[in-house]
């Protein structure tokens, strides 16, 4: 653990935590991309009849 703390504080790399979630989306929804870094503009989201 001491070595891990040393790498985290003195290392050249940073740890990236990625949120892992599941989202239920209806088959009627189109053009929606779930991404933690970007957001889908509302005007691009479509609903199928």
What residue segments make up the domains of the chain, in order of their start? Answer: 23-49
d(CA 38, CA 17): 16
d(CA 49, CA 30): 11
> Could you read off the pLDDT of 1-34 as tens digits, one per residue?
788 888 888 888 777 776 677 777 888 988 887 7
Helix H or strand E encompassing 30: strand 29-30
Between 16 and 36, name the one with better pLDDT: 16
Contact predicate 11/4, CB 8 Å: no
Residue 38 has pLDDT above 80, yes or no: no
d(CA 16, CA 32): 25
């Amino acid at each position: 653990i001491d070595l891990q703390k040393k790498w985290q504080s003195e290392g050249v790399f940073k740890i990236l935590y990625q949120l892992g979630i599941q989202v239920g989306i209806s088959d009627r929804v189109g053009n929606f991309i779930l991404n933690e870094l970007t957001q889908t503009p509302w005007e691009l989201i479509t609903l199928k009849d």
